[in-house]
Structure 1
């Protein structure tokens, strides 16, 4: 029983870490995109390259 409880706890911990790193990556990408848009102008960043 104890082994099962420990594995469940570690699974939850792993899921939390994964979620945290995913949201951090998304936030970083969003900030980078916003920074690039500010640098080039919003219209240029939303238009697809020809």
Structure 2
């Protein structure tokens, strides 16, 4: 549920690159092995 809200908030802020990167991370099981900072860095880089 929090992911849906987060995606909605990112879309409202027009951070479409982050939306796509988060969706991609959810589809890739190896993303779960990354530390929070690593996943966040990937989201920021996508934007």
TM (norm. structure 2) is 0.31
RCO higher in structure (CA 8 A, sep ≥6): 2
Larger radius of gyration: 1
Whose helix proportion is higher, 1 or 2?
A: 1
TM (norm. structure 1) is 0.29
